[in-house]
Chain A
């Protein structure tokens, strides 16, 4: 027995320093550390929640008013036979609207005044009239009362963004125009209604005619292309690299490059798309097809990396069990490994897709920043996507586009949330943790 053990034996026999005392002495410090750590964690969660809440309130408070739009009720007399049956476009709906306005304000005669008066109404009013007449041809020869779109300045006034108190010279509406609007208000001919245009139209130079639907459909088609390409390719690549490929210099090289690709700035993919898909292959510009392919290039590394991690996490004992009964490698992967790895692969896919959904830079390169009014009907129609639409509106000078920008962000978030929800449901279905 050496000296030190004798000493400690003596100590414990005299009962002065027991292990439990040492443990007890340290306890307070240990718990203190834990408490501090928990406090820091809580603090960071509160901070991020506060930022998120701030962001959301600012977007919602700015954007919710875009869901309403000012309409004006006009009594429009329709003469019998005014509709050119063969070619309805030739009928002068604009003229009829102007007549109806003039009828309502008989006192306005000056040319200048008339122009100011007409500008209270949206140029979309004529289209509304046309649709109304085409849908109900029987109403020809009677007077119909129609709620037509007000101009965006009127809309801004009704929503309080243009103040009546400010001097006329600094206001986008003249005193005269205000008086005309007051008359409409007195007659209950002006009111805010749900803004169907915003959810059904494409882009427009006139804010009251601009809608997000074209961009939503464009984003949908683009995402579909991205998903259809990157999910199967990504998973096939991950499965091959992880389960089948020999471990050698070539596969190491591929692995390094995949990791590098994940860190490449997205605009580079846009340039690549421009050079390869548009200029070399001559694919149509500004289309979801090309946009989807470019975003696929961007999401692939994310999906491959996440899928490989998911495959690595499948316990090797499962593989051995399956190999041990004489299954081929493919049977092991298809029956046992993939089902277990699929939830993780879906998580990676949804992260990649969410990134792709919010991506603007590479799409600018392939012309998706163009001003596109039509709503895309397929993968090869020119179309906008939501983030680019938001970028375009945020850049527009009209006051009415401010609220539409925020509203578009809300729609984008809703799109993102529903995309995630689908992924969560799918993942739950596959996630049978036995």
Chain B
């Protein structure tokens, strides 16, 4: 009962027209890979993201935290236009990637998504063999031509995802037959098989046990040398372990951004402090 009441009040507050709250902290970085300015996202006439501006730096891990329903996934899915699949969803503002607004009509989502890959909350390997899971995307993009190219990509991707040793003898077996943690690493391997520049992760560990979670976190640690990573997480420990910068969202607003160690030791906004100390959310 309590749950329901909370939800409706949250929705009422989102629906109520109000100005966005000002973001505390520095949204700029010295070497940005993606630049978001005044991003608003609506589902129908309901606004889920309000006037969010933030930079995502090159080779950094940006963590996004906040109470559930605050719009973290919505914002993340804007970054590679996954929101296009939702009919009612529309976006205003600018998201620059390579100095081009990805919502510009001239931008094709296919190459965009090849450069900005995504790992989802629930592991979703294709119902095909482990090999096919990795090799499919390079094949459709024409990155690989021969079988040996494909073999190589499969091996390097699985090696990077730390899964090679576990699956090298069963590449022809279904990807869905792996454990949850292995499936999620397979999904990460699938994402890096097309050599994207940015990887978006939406609560990649929320369906996993602590050991599998630790493995994924180690993996993120290694991946950040080559990729820019934006990760949504509901675990404050995870955010503090893996990320350099942290963004705190609340009811569609970006409340505070800063270096992770600052956010977790001396938050500036009352809401941030309440959230990270567990008083709220």
Interface residues of A (CB under 8 A from B): 247, 315, 317-328, 331, 335-336, 340, 432-434
Contacts and interface: CB of A to CB of B under 8 A. Distances in A.
A324 B82 contact: yes
B176 A434 contact: yes
Given A325-B193, A326-B111, 6 more contacts: A318-B127, A321-B124, A324-B118, A326-B113, A328-B140, A340-B127
B114 A326 contact: yes
Given A247-B87, A434-B176, A326 B141 contact: yes
A322 B124 CA distance: 10
Contacts of A322: 126, 136
Contact of B191 (A247, A323, A324, A432): A324
A317 B140 CA distance: 19
B124 A317 contact: yes
Contacts of A331: 140
30 contacts: A247-B87, A317-B120, A317-B124, A318-B124, A318-B126, A320-B82, A321-B126, A321-B187, A321-B190, A322-B136, A323-B113, A324-B80, A324-B82, A324-B117, A324-B118, A324-B120, A325-B136, A325-B194, A326-B112, A326-B117, A326-B141, A326-B194, A327-B110, A327-B140, A328-B140, A331-B140, A335-B136, A432-B127, A434-B127, A434-B174
Interface string B173-191: 0111100000000010011
Contacts of B33: none
B120 A325 contact: no
A327 B113 CA distance: 8
Nearest to B136: A335
Most chain B beta-carbon contacts within 10 A, residue among A326, A327, A433: A326
Nearest to B119: A324
Contacts of A319: 85
Most chain B beta-carbon contacts within 10 A, residue among A315, A321, A322: A321
B122 interface: yes
Contacts of A326: 109-115, 117, 137, 141, 194
Interface string B122-151: 101111100000001100110000000000
Going nearest first, the 5 A-B pairs with the smallest beta carbon separation are: A326-B114, A326-B113, A434-B174, A325-B137, A324-B118
Contacts of A325: 113-114, 117, 136-137, 190-191, 193-194
A255 to B, nearest CB: 16
Contact of B175 (A328, A335, A434): A434
A434 B124 contact: no
Contacts of B109: 326
Contact of B113 (A318, A324, A432): A324
B17 to A, nearest CB: 27
A434 B130 CA distance: 11
Most chain B beta-carbon contacts within 10 A, residue among A315, A322, A324: A324
B218 to A, nearest CB: 23
A328 B110 contact: yes
A408 B125 CA distance: 51
Nearest to A335: B136
B136 A320 contact: no
Contacts of A323: 82, 85, 113
Nearest to A315: B124
Contacts of B124: 315, 317-318, 320-321
A322 B139 CA distance: 12
Contacts of A247: 87
A256 B31 CA distance: 54
Interface in B77-118: 80, 82, 85, 87, 109-115, 117-118
A60 B244 CA distance: 80
B229 to A, nearest CB: 15
Nearest to A322: B126
A318 B125 CA distance: 7
Contacts of B128: 434
A328 B126 CA distance: 16
A321 B120 contact: yes
Nearest to B111: A326
Contacts of A328: 110, 140
B90 to A, nearest CB: 14
B177 A434 contact: yes
Nearest to A324: B118
A315 B177 CA distance: 17
Contacts of A433: 127
B85 A320 contact: yes
Contacts of A434: 127-128, 174-177
A340 B82 CA distance: 22
A434 B112 CA distance: 30
Most chain A beta-carbon contacts within 10 A, residue among B122, B126, B141: B126
Contacts of B127: 318, 336, 340, 432-434
B176 A327 contact: no
Interface string B184-210: 000100110110000000000000000
Nearest to B187: A321
A11 B37 CA distance: 63
Nearest to A316: B85
Nearest to A247: B87
Contacts of B87: 247
Contacts of A317: 120, 122, 124
Contacts of B190: 321, 325
A173 to B, nearest CB: 69
Contacts of B177: 434
A320 B140 contact: no
A324 to B, nearest CB: 4
Contacts of B125: 321
Contacts of B110: 326-328
Nearest to B191: A325
Interface string B212-248: 0000000000000000000000000000000000000
Contacts of A340: 127
A149 to B, nearest CB: 59
